[in-house]
Amino acid sequence: MLSEKMQDALNAQINAEMLASYKYLAMAAYFEAENLIGFANWMHVQSQEENTHAMKFYHYIKDRRGRVLLRPLDGPKNDWTSPLEVFQAALQHEQYVTGLINNLMDLAISERDHATQSFLKWFVDEQVEEESNVDAVIQDLKRVGSSAEGVFFLDRELAGRTAEAEGEGEAAE
């Protein structure tokens, strides 16, 4: 079973992951309003991924005989000045989530909760990928600058992003 402190922290992470999903959905809506459908697609995929992460925490709490307690979500920001600003906000949020995951791992270590440490290992690795993926788009946006053609081609490239199966690349059990 989970300690009360660990259960509370994991429930807070569900909220953080759902908020991330909500933020990415708001970013998708912004891009759709700007007729940048490829950028919107990238954000829709990201929103779905964050929702999946929340559900991983949900099921983990349940599997450890804990109680899932959902909390209200704050409204996300809805307007930005450019695609670069959106992705910079996304990177900032991913770095924040990385800090939350690291804090959860620190708590699991201090409580000698080996099962939760094992569960969180996937998220530690996932956050490296999350930050890298967002940063790659930021670097592309910086490279194209204010070039309408560059943004057009990047939009077309991002339209090809699809949701990956969670756990893809993990060793078979």
Tell me 65's DSSP state: T
How far apart are the two ends of the chain, measured CA to CA in Å? 24
More confident residue, 172 or 163: 163
How high is the pLDDT of residue 160?
Answer: 92
CA 109 to chain centre: 23
What local confidence, expressed as pLDDT, does residue 169 receive? 41
pLDDT at 165: 59
Task: Characterize 138-165 residue by residue with b for buried, 16 or more Cβ atoms within 10 angstroms of its Cβ, and e for exposed.
Answer: bebbeebeeeeeebeebbeebeebeeee
How far is it, in rounded angstroms, from Cα 151 to Cα 83?
9
Residue 61, in any domain of the structure? yes
User: CA–CA separation, 88 vs 83, rounded Å?
Assistant: 9
CATH number at residue 46: 1.20.1260.10
Q: What is the structure's pLDDT at 46?
A: 97
Residue 106 covered by a domain: yes
Per the domain annotation, does 114 fall within a domain? yes
In this structure, the dihedral spanned by the alpha carbons of residues 75, 81, 83 and 88, taken in order and rounded to 10 degrees, is -70
Q: What is the span of the domain harbouring residue 22?
A: 4-72+82-158
Residue 23 belongs to some domain of the structure: yes
Average pLDDT, integer, range 92-109: 98
Query: Cα separations (Å) of 47 from 21, 26, 28, 128?
Result: 4, 9, 9, 17
Q: Per the structure, how many domains does the chain have?
A: 1
**How confident is residue 1, by pLDDT bands cut at 50, 70 and 90?**
confident
For every residue of 79-106, DSSP letters joined together read --SSHHHHHHHHHHHHHHHHHHHHHHHH
pLDDT interval class at 163 (50, 70, 90): confident
Q: Is residue 170 part of a domain?
A: no
- Specify if 88 maps to a domain: yes
pLDDT, tens digit (0-9, with 9 covering 90-100), for 5-62: 999 999 999 999 999 999 999 999 999 999 999 999 999 999 999 999 999 999 999 9
**pTM as predicted:** 0.91
Predicted local distance difference test score (pLDDT) of residue 167:
52
Residue 125 is assigned to a structural domain of this protein: yes
Tell whether the model's pLDDT for residue 171 goes beyond 80. Answer: no
Q: What percent of the chain stands above pLDDT 90?
A: 92
Which pLDDT does position 168 carry in this prediction?
47
In a domain, 165, yes or no: no
